[in-house]
Structure 1
Amino acid sequence: MKKEEIKISSLDKGKGMSRRKFLALTASTTAALSFGTFLRSGLGATKVSLLTWPNTLSAMDDVLREQAREYSKIKGVEISIEFVSYNDLPTKTAAAVESGAGPDIVCLVGDGAHLHAKSLVDVSDVANTLAKELKGWTNIAKDVGMVGKTWRAIPWAICPQVINYRIDWLKELGYQKFPDTYEDMLTLAKKLKDKGHPVGFALGRALGDANQFHYPLLWAFGGAECKKDGKTVAINSPETAKAIDYRRELHKLGESDDVYAWDDAANNRAFMAEAISVTLNATSIYWAMKKNAPHLREVTDHALAPRGPAGRFSYSTPFSLGIFKFSKVQKEAKAFIKWLLEPKQYSAWMGVGEGMMAGLLNFYEDDPVWKKDPKFEASRLTPKYCRLPGYPGPPSRHAAEAMVKYVIVNMFARACKGMSTAETIKIAEAELKEIYGKA
């Protein structure tokens, strides 16, 4: 201590620096050195990147961007978000897996956690903490994020697929609400078409809408593409035959042939143009009406997908957040994901979506967004009935391949075009055996 005092004194004398100035300089230098150590340690100026898709409702993306900025301010971690189209997201994800470079966090569509499990970090700690704090995960959440006994992704949300229907046209026929069963829906569909208001469910290359209607229909009649083991093809069954016979009648009595050419946007356009009375879709149609057709919004409502002999089912596209193993900021990425799913942030994000997205933690079944409009009730309840392609088996690469190749949709479409039930099942069975027979 004495030597330091002497040194200060000599500096004062030799260079005209006061003791006060020297102490100020020392403090500044120490702070600068400490900050440099802080940066080099990785605790500061950390950057976490997220790859996702632009939501149909841009307001949800605006909230996400604002939350990223807020997180950066309060945590000192820079969050960068890249939005790519829904169709390009799986391709870009696969490219990152192949190259071993890319975003830290990726939004995975459908069974993406299963497809890329080997490239994703174990996030069981985050999943278990959220479950403990927010009343646990729904069953579909576990199918989405868990591979074996390990969480490979954190379920972010599903886009609930619900029946969109015209209240006024149903009331003209004496209906006060939408039928609860497929059989009763068939009766209604015939009456609506006879009045010039056909129903419409995609039977073409609509990756979302066509699959999301026909998988639940198959399950509701007790049919399945494979058994619980996820390996044995089980499509050739009396239950599948009943589902096909039903679909043929629904098309004959209630639809036009336009549905064969529909893509994922076609039913939205048809409903907005008042060309159809009933379809399966997210609440995006209802949301679009607020600006473009408020008079139709007043006479449009939503219902759960009907139930069949084996129960009620839904296939609503799920989204999850995974962290790549090549990420250098895995700890920070986990912290950001957990923060996003906490009530303050998640409710704000889900709230602007007007039922477009539903949370997969049980806590969010009672989120305030559902009380904004009673017409969101079907979306609120949909997660309870969700399953993934491959059900009752686990999600798998085989099930994903069958879906993107429209094996189930085409099976129904061939029957609606006139092929016998036995023949269309035979074709689907051969296709599924080829897919499920792959290593």
Structure 2
Amino acid sequence: MVYIIRRREALALGASAAALALARTAAAQTIPTADVARPKWDIEKGASLKLIRPARFVEPDEVIFRANSAKFAKEFGVEVKVDLVGWEDIRQQAAVSANTGAGPDIVIGWAEDPHIYSDKVIELSDVAEYLGKKYGGWLFLGEKYGKKAKTNNWIGLPMGGSGGPLVYRSSAIKEAGFDKVPDDLPGFLKLCQALKKINKPAGFALGNAVGDANGFANWMLWAHGGALVDEDGKVIINSKETLAAINYVKELYPNFVSGTMSWNDISNNRAYSSGELFLTANGVSLYFSLKNDPATKAIAADTEHAPLVKGVAKTAPMSGTILNSMVFKHSKYPNAAKAYLAYMMEAEQYDPWLTGCLGYWSHPLAAYDKSKVWESDPKIAIYRDTMKNQYWTGYKGPITQAAGTVQAEYILVQMFASVASGQATPEAAAKEAERRSKRYYR
């Protein structure tokens, strides 16, 4: 889906310009900021920008993003071309652009992407440092995914993260004989078994789903004390902790709703909304859609959220699907790109986007803790701290090209799926994941 934003276009773009103006004013009043001088990026003469970003899961994400881009175009005289790309497709398009040295100036892709192309993107430290000083500092995952490993050089600019806590029907949990979701792995297994018995099953993605499947695989690994690599980047996936995680999923999987082996990132949303699924993990998009559709408001009222089960971890082993921006060196307009990214993160633009999406892309800058969105509905409060979680891709090692590639190739997802589907033993699956991971960690 391509959309070209020119200066002459109205700011509304399908939303009320007056409502957006009020939201911008409210943002300026409620988001605390420091008095920091904005860098002066000399925008190149005749500059225009092309960017790609993931397609929206909630409509305001796209509508307000376009409106903010239109506002930038009007104020700075820079034409902006926005191309919304399917979640599973954006990495392929980014790879083509990186390898050919042509294509979009800006890619707003996934967490590890700037680290995959670290030698082909420009440094964004001036943008990141300005925003950090003005908006109370970067939260843990923002800094972790923004900076090149073992340096203070920013090669990405995280715009937010979609958290993935447990989402469940309260009535189903009670019918299954539980007052709440257990915080231990044996108890969680018993809950899923009980839900299966009353024909109100749980389900988690085991297909090649960017957010949901990687989130589930990482959760299972971390909850059992496992990790892909150690602090130095040595592959340690073939471990007793990993085998414990695989065996747990092998026992858990028969209780899932059918079809999870082929699920993409929209599948559990659809199954939950249609009354086929009663427990899963998801971003706020699921609750948002339920709440705003008259046909599913009753399901929304019955929906609650809970942290992922800790297992042996000290805290809920949660991360997030991180939206991370990068600017390719082949761009003819790097200053315009920097100005655009900084502009999109300013309170007048960012808070209406955050609020309109009901916190779907949870903020990476501390000042946005004060956003009114987090007081608007107690059921979404759990998403506010998404970017404060201290688990990440390639945990426990650095975020590098290797970490990103292992994630992009779904190595951990396929490790679990191969055993759950009966195609491999736990020992063979862990060994294969080790072999595949070592191809990238050298």
TM bucket, shorter chain: 0.7 to 0.9
Cα distance in 1 for residues equivalent to 2:43 and 2:376 = 43
User: Aligned residue for 2:267?
Assistant: 266
Q: 2:164 aligns with which of 161, 166, 171?
A: 161
Query: How far is the alpha carbon of 1:343 from its aligned partner?
Result: 1.4
User: Aligned residue for 2:441?
Assistant: 436
CA 207–345 in structure 1, closer or farther in 2 if over 3 Å, else same: closer
Query: How far is the alpha carbon of 1:112 from its aligned partner?
Result: 0.8
Q: What letter matches 1:70 in structure 2?
A: K
Cα deviation code 1:348-386 (max 9, x no counterpart): 011111232111112223321111111111211222225
Query: How far is the alpha carbon of 1:114 from its aligned partner?
Result: 0.4
User: Aligned residue for 1:22?
Assistant: none
Q: What letter matches 1:413 in structure 2?
A: A
Cα distance in 1 for residues equivalent to 2:66 and 2:207 = 35
Q: How does 1:173-322 map to 2 (within 5 A)?
A: 173-230=176-233, 232-252=234-254, 254-289=255-290, 290-291=292-293, 292-311=295-314, 312-322=316-326
Cα deviation code 1:224-245 (max 9, x no counterpart): 1222112x22012221122222
**Contact in 2 for aligned 1:316/1:386 (Cα 8 Å):** no
Query: How far is the alpha carbon of 1:167 from its aligned partner?
Result: 1.1
Cα deviation code 1:9-31 (max 9, x no counterpart): xxxxxxxxxxxxxxxxxxxxxxx
**Contact in 2 for aligned 1:44/1:76 (Cα 8 Å):** no
CA 48–259 in structure 1, closer or farther in 2 if over 3 Å, else same: closer
Q: What letter matches 1:169 in structure 2?
A: A
Q: What letter matches 2:196 in structure 1?
A: K
User: Aligned residue for 1:368?
Assistant: 372
Moved more, 276-285 or 378-387: 378-387
2:379 alignment partner, SS class: helix
Q: How many residue pairs get matched?
A: 395
For the pair shown, the structure with the greater C-alpha radius of gyration is 1
Q: 1:426 aligns with which of 413, 426, 431?
A: 431
Q: What letter matches 2:205 in structure 1?
A: A
Q: 2:173 aligns with which of 170, 174, 177?
A: 170
Query: How far is the alpha carbon of 1:425 from its aligned partner?
Result: 2.1
2:49 alignment partner, SS class: strand
1:126 alignment partner, SS class: helix
Q: What letter matches 2:239 in structure 1?
A: S
**Contact in 2 for aligned 1:68/1:80 (Cα 8 Å):** no
1:340 correspondence with 2:341:
no
CA 68–427 in structure 1, closer or farther in 2 if over 3 Å, else same: closer
**Contact in 1 for aligned 2:117/2:401 (Cα 8 Å):** no
**Contact in 2 for aligned 1:113/1:146 (Cα 8 Å):** no
- Choose between structure 1 and 2 for higher RCO, CA contacts under 8 A separated by at least 6 residues: 2
Query: How far is the alpha carbon of 1:206 from its aligned partner?
Result: 2.9
Aligned sequence identity (%): 32
1:298 alignment partner, SS class: helix
CA 47–186 in structure 1, closer or farther in 2 if over 3 Å, else same: same
TM score, norm. by length of structure 2? 0.83
Moved more, 341-350 or 204-213: 204-213
User: Aligned residue for 1:404?
Assistant: 408
Cα distance in 2 for residues equivalent to 1:105 and 1:434 = 29
User: Aligned residue for 1:324?
Assistant: 328
Cα distance in 2 for residues equivalent to 1:358 and 1:133 = 18
**Contact in 2 for aligned 1:57/1:353 (Cα 8 Å):** yes
Cα deviation code 1:62-92 (max 9, x no counterpart): 1122112222333333333233333332222
In terms of fraction of residues, the more helix-rich structure is 1
Q: What letter matches 2:387 in structure 1?
A: P
CA 275–106 in structure 1, closer or farther in 2 if over 3 Å, else same: same
Q: What letter matches 2:245 in structure 1?
A: A
Moved more, 368-377 or 207-216: 207-216
Cα distance in 1 for residues equivalent to 2:263 and 2:97 = 32
Query: Gaps spanning 5+ residues in structure 2: where?
Result: 1-41
Query: Gaps spanning 5+ residues in structure 1: where?
Result: 1-40
User: Aligned residue for 2:32?
Assistant: none
**Contact in 2 for aligned 1:109/1:319 (Cα 8 Å):** yes
Cα distance in 2 for residues equivalent to 1:350 and 1:85 = 21
Query: How far is the alpha carbon of 1:57 from its aligned partner?
Result: 1.6
Cα distance in 1 for residues equivalent to 2:350 and 2:372 = 11
CA 397–45 in structure 1, closer or farther in 2 if over 3 Å, else same: closer
Query: How far is the alpha carbon of 1:143 from its aligned partner?
Result: 2.3
**Contact in 1 for aligned 2:111/2:158 (Cα 8 Å):** no
Cα distance in 2 for residues equivalent to 1:189 and 1:175 = 11
